[in-house]
Structures are given as C-alpha cells and as structure tokens.
Amino acid sequence: MSSRYFIEKCSNLIYNLLVGEGNAKQRLKKCEIDLMFVMHIDLPNEFEKQRIQILKRLCRHEPIISDGKVKIDSFTQTILHMRNSTASKIIADIYNLFQNVKSYQEMKTSVQQAHLRKPGRTM
C-alpha cells in the first residue's frame, strides 16, 4: 500500500479525531477501528519511527485476560488509564504524521510531474 492510500483513509479519521463529539479520550476510543486500520498501513521508511511511537503510546498497557480470553484489550486499557491531555497530544501526533505523509506525497508527485515535463522527454 502507498502513502496515497494512507492519506485517503486517514482524512476522515483526522476529521473525527479533531472535531468529533466528546473529549480527546472519547474521540480516540470512538475511532479505534479506523485508527488501528490506518496505523497499520505500510508507509515509506521515513515515517516508520513516528508511526511506531504512536502505536506504542496507544497500546502502552497490557490487556486484561481472564480464563484465556481478552476481557479488555490493550488499546482500551491504555485509554482508560490515559489523561485527556495525553490523548490530545496523541491526536496531534497522528495529525502531524498525516500532514508529513501528505507533504511527502505532494513533493513526490510534483517531482514526477516536473520530470515528465522536461524538454525533449517523450511519453
């Protein structure tokens, strides 16, 4: 998958994280499925460290397991123990990752278009 795919899938997620109902913790929890999907999309290596750091912060606490079954998953357990200010910082990190990938894709596209417009270049 590409950075273009990440941008497409992340756009709605970003909107919901930034202006959705509830506080930052509630918005993260409400967006859990989309968030985990988007955060597992392959990105160029330049963004791997940033992506992994966000995932680690979202799943910092161990899940609660009883009788061999997960009762509370790692993400939910982390959100339960998180301050709202920490959730806001994580949302800002997700937004920054989105903007960085978007800028990277725009630069990559403009370089490709400039290369195609070179004089003497045939398609």
Q: Mean pLDDT across the chain, nearest whole number?
A: 90
pLDDT digits (tens, 9 = 90+) for 93-121: 999 999 999 999 888 877 766 666 666 65
Predicted TM-score (pTM) of this structure: 0.85
**Contacts of 7-14 spanning 24+ positions with Cβ under 8 A:** 7/98, 7/101, 7/102, 7/105, 9/34, 9/37, 9/38, 9/41, 10/38, 10/98, 10/101, 11/98, 13/38, 13/94, 14/94, 14/95, 14/98
Over residues 45-60, the mean pLDDT reads 95
The fraction of the chain above a pLDDT of 70, given in percent, is 89
